[in-house]
Structure 1
Amino acid sequence: MTEGRRLTNWAGNYHFSAKRFHRPRTVEEVQQIVMKCRKLRVLGVGHSFNGIGDCDEDLISLERMNRVLSIDHVRSTVTVEAGIKYSELGAYLHSRGYGLHNLAALGNVTVAGAVVTATHGSGDRNGNLATAVSRMQIVNGRGEVIDLERDKNSYEFDGAVVSLGGLGVVTKLTLDVVPTYDIRQDVYQKLSFTAVQENLEKIFSSAYSVSLFIDWKSSDTISHLWLKSKVEPEAKSNLREIDLSSALNCTSHRGIPRPWHERLPHNFNSEQRRGAAEYLLPRRNGVAALQRIEALKEHLAPVVWMCEVRTIAADKFWMSPFYKQDCIAIHFSLFPDWPLVSKVLPMVDQTLKSLEARPHWGKVITMPPDRVRSMYCELPKFRLLLQSFDPEGKFRNRFLNTYIFGLGPVATSNL
């Protein structure tokens, strides 16, 4: 997130319109801000690529509320303030013998920001980052502190975790932890596109976390396959069953296992800040989706720096793209040419329409809002929950009005 004459997001492709910016240090300060403001939203590190975190009046950053509050060794949980980043939390947990089940591609994002937008990593059995949440604290639109727990408030909890920032200010989260573990990363280059399609299920089940990278410039090859494997005696890979004779193998990081919080994020150069769009589809539609996107490669090559394909396990959160379905995610890192991007992405929207593709809540969205709304069967319940927590609509912005309530246009990007 960059401040200057105008506040911008991490990638620099979106300019916020807020008049005031608040940095509270305590829950009490958050309550005071909520009660005195008419309209406001919460920003993490500004790693969204659209107007989901925008507001034309007040913004709150929780960057000063970034402490680890406690570790419960009996329940295997950690409780943190919502503004802590995964990069900070990862190092802390590992030093105490603990880990998280997964991380996003970039570690420098806040826990609350990732949770409320269903941000994900990769892995057949790994749910998005919100699935680690067992308790959360929210300051609602009245300025009241509300505590929700997975095992006690299951109905509200399932609607509140992936809230898109609409319920209020998330101030505290309790996450499930696991014993710390090491990850080894291996890389295959220039795989046959045909071989990948024929063996997609085996490839994604061959390691703890798997990513395919495609630049759509080559006619018949996948750029890279990254396998991130847990270092444990019982872990076995079925990759040897797949014909990868056309691929070149290179062991990234010299094959040296490192702690989970160092290997699961990709750690791309922080200067490579680009816009991003992503489509989440039912797992069964993965091969068909790649085939249809390949047919658009001549259009994609000028606007897409790299495409990453991952898998995510199902969850039970109402507004999660992975609600009750295992998914495949197709992510596009975009060059900063919005006039061209705005022409190409609708082509992707259309070709994936019959495959039930949903956009990622925090990335560039060009899909018609009514189509997005139609994909969430629990949307009516979510609207009622929003109105219950925030009856005056303090946390409603153009994004929520468009994609949740069906009112008015939304600012998407200014790449």
Structure 2
Amino acid sequence: MRNWAGNIDYAARDLVRPTSLEELADRLVVGGPVRALGSRHSFNDLADTTGTHVQVDRLDDGRPAVDLDPGTGVVSVNAGMRYGEVSQVLYAHGRALTQLASLPHLSVAGAVATATHGSGDTNRSLAGAVVALELMTTAGELRRITRETDPEVFAGTVVSLGVLGIVTRIELATVPAFQVRQDVALELPWDAVLDRFDDVTGSAYSVSLFTRWDEPTVRAAWFKSVVSEGRGHRPDALPDLHWAEHDVHPVPGVDPGACTAQHGVPGPSHERLSHFRLDHTPSVGEELQSEYLLPRKHAVKAVEAMRGLGSVVAPLLMTGEVRTVAADDLWLSPFAEDSIGLHFTWLPRAPEVARVLPLIEETLAPFGARPHWGKVFAADPVAVRAAYPRFDEFRVLADRLDPEGRLRGGYVARLLA
């Protein structure tokens, strides 16, 4: 079995999809290496194991797969569900999540465990919406961990890389449903964007800047703005913006049919905040992805440094993206303070990409860049551990919940070695 991108052949000897908590417990107490597997969107071997892969998408614990508490607005979901599916159910009940990633096809547990994110100056990563989670340890014990009842360790259990247990349910904060419009501006001069970076990224609920780094302009800026009482407008962060007259795909030349609606047409937030539609497959996985997260205060200098690498990066790049993410307090989240993400969607040329990554990481190191857990990067595990001040506490927590280290495979085995 392979990951979605097709660049990783999993070493697991089998895959199980338990249909009950009892079945899951029976499998876990058997012994041997085991790892949770989500929608297989990691581009490295983070989710790999030499033992058994477990998917919980068919798990029935006696509760609705999407269980909304109308009093608190908290929704409890099966951890194997996809974000787009959860959002559709919430919308039918007048609720919404505050943020979504570019793809609504990601499993909730997998996205949360890796601190996957969308964009927006005030929007935290998807993990930032978690208020509680349930996981089953390798001893077959089901545990519910909440911010209120477990304040000492809650922040260490959310972005967990899957090494604390098999997550079965996740509880997320929601807000009243809201409408969003999406407008795409083309060819924004880099100098103007960097001179007014805060104005540009703050001009809409969510903003994404697309570039190949060797271009004199930002090729496309996607502005996702909240629509209030049926009204909305195009952002005016920069004068004389040139608005796209036709649908635009993040990758030049690709059919935009899989993209969410543009041209200012209002729609439910879950049909605009992601770049791609749930009912379409945005690609067949013939790509690689990298991303580096760094403090927002270094945004302009980091972007300028990356532009200096344009001639090296662009020949291997399908597209690049600049996004902003608000801070959280989660131990292994790369967003200890307000941050930006520099995202790279590569051509599927792994050996050449591998040669470029060390140069990118060396260039971004002075700005405190951390790699996205689920994407390809070159950084040594020792250096990655050092970037997280509470990593030693996380290791203690992992040792306590999984004393035999059965949940450690692939990259996390090297990280925790």
Pair in the same fold by TM > 0.5: yes
Shift of the 241–135 alpha-carbon distance from structure 1 to 2, 3 Å rule, reads closer
One-letter code of the match for 1:144? E
Is 1:188 aligned to 2:197, yes or no? no
Equivalent residue for 2:141, pick from 129, 140, 144: 144
Aligned match of 1:15: 9
Aligned residue identity for 2:239: D
CA-CA distance at 1:161 after TM superposition: 0.7
Aligned partners of 1:116 and 1:161 also within 8 Å: yes
Aligned to 1:58: 52
Q: Describe the SS at the equivalent of 2:315.
A: coil
- Runs (4+) of structure 1 exceeding 6 A deviation are 234-238
CA contact (8 A) 2:132 2:172 kept: yes
Matches within 5 A, 1:155-234: 155-218=152-215, 220-232=216-228
- Return closer, same or farther for 1:354/1:234 CA change in 2, 3 Å cut-off: farther
* Mean Cα deviation higher: 225-234 or 343-352: 225-234
Corresponding residue number in structure 2 for 1:266: 275
What residue identity is the alignment partner of 2:44? N
Contact 2:203 2:237 in 1 (8 A): no
CA-CA distance at 1:271 after TM superposition: 2.2
SS at match of 1:65: coil
User: What one-letter code is carried by the residue in structure 2 that aligns with 1:364?
Assistant: V
Give 1:270 deviation, angstroms: 2.4
SS of the residue corresponding to residue 240 of structure 1 reads coil
State the number of aligned residues.
396
SS at match of 1:348: helix
Report the counterpart of residue 410 of structure 1 in structure 2.
Answer: none
Deviation at 1:250, TM superposition (A): 4.0
Under a length normalisation based on structure 1, what TM-score does the superposition of the two structures give? Answer: 0.92
1:65 positional shift: 2.9
Give the partner amino acid of 2:404: E
1:354 aligns with 2:366: yes
Is the 8 Å Cα contact of residues 225 and 232 (structure 2) preserved in structure 1? no
Q: Is the 8 A contact 2:226 2:232 kept in 1?
A: no
Quote the offset at 1:237 in angstroms.
7.7
8 Å CA contact 2:114–2:374 kept in 1: the answer is yes
| 1:28-47 equivalent positions in 2, closer than 5 A | 28-47=22-41
Looking at structure 1, the residues matched to 59 and 107 of structure 2 have their Cα atoms a distance apart, in angstroms, of: 11
**1:319-358 map, 5 Å:** 319-323=332-336, 325-358=337-370
Q: How far, CA to CA, are the matches of 1:316 and 1:281 in structure 2? A: 15
Residues 313-348 of structure 1: per-residue CA shift (max 9 Å, x gap): 00011000012x111001000101111101111110
Identity of aligned residues (%): 38
Quote the offset at 1:402 in angstroms.
2.0
Contact 1:188/1:250 (CA < 8 Å) preserved in 2? no
User: What letter corresponds to residue 400 of structure 1 in structure 2?
Assistant: V
User: Residue 263 of structure 2 is aligned with which of 254, 278, 287?
Assistant: 254
Q: Any conservation in 1 of the 2:134–2:167 contact (CA below 8 Å)?
A: yes
- Aligned AA (1:294): R
In the aligned structure 2, how far is the partner of 1:48 from the partner of 1:210? 24
Point out where structure 1 has 5 or more consecutive residues left out of the alignment: 1-6, 408-415
- What displacement does 1:236 show? 8.3
For 1:22, give the aligned amino acid: V
**TM-score, normalised relative to structure 2:** 0.91
| 1:98–1:180 CA contact under 8 A, matched in 2 | yes
Preserved contact between residue 66 and residue 89 of structure 2 (Cα < 8 Å): no
Q: Are 2:105 and 1:108 equivalent residues in the alignment?
A: yes
Relative distance call for 1:121 and 1:60 in structure 2 (3 A) is same
Could you tell me whether the CA contact under 8 Å between 2:113 and 2:159 is conserved in 1?
yes
1:290 aligns with 2:287: no
**Structure 1, residues 226-272: CA drift from partner, whole Å, max 9, x if none?**
00001115998894352345x44447533210111111111175225
2:38 and 2:55 in contact (8 A); partners too: yes
Q: C-alpha distance in 2, partners of 1:240/1:43? A: 43
Partner of 2:255: none
Show the counterpart of 2:257.
none
| Structure 2, unaligned runs of 5 or more | 248-261
Q: How many Å apart are 1:145 and its aligned residue?
A: 0.6
The residue type paired with residue 12 of structure 2 is A
Q: Is the 8 A contact 1:141 1:393 kept in 2?
A: no
Q: Is the 8 A contact 1:281 1:328 kept in 2?
A: yes
Kindly state the Cα deviation for residue 392 of structure 1 after the two structures are TM-superposed.
0.7
Question: CA, structure 1 residues 71+280, in 2 after alignment: closer, same or farther (shift >3 Å)?
Answer: same
Q: What SS does the aligned partner of 1:341 have? A: helix
Distance 2:234 2:105 in 1: 32
Alpha-carbon shift at residue 371 of structure 1 (Å): 1.6
Q: 2:319 aligns with which of 306, 315, 323?
A: 306
SS of residue in 2 equivalent to 1:352 = helix
RMSD across aligned C-alpha pairs, in angstroms?
1.8
Q: Is the 8 A contact 1:186 1:250 kept in 2?
A: no
Alpha-carbon distance in 1 for matches of 2:330, 2:373 = 14
Q: Which amino acid is the alignment partner of residue 365 of structure 2? A: K
Match of 1:279 in 2: 292
* CA–CA distance in structure 2, aligned partners of residues 398 and 123 of structure 1: 32
CA deviation after TM superposition for structure 1 residue 367, in Å: 1.5
**What is the letter of the counterpart of residue 398 of structure 2?**
L
Q: CA deviation at 1:196?
A: 1.0
| Whole-angstrom distance in 2 between the partners of 1:130 and 1:259 | 21
3-state SS of 1:30 partner: helix
Q: Does structure 2 retain, via aligned residues, the 8 Å contact 1:195–1:243? A: no
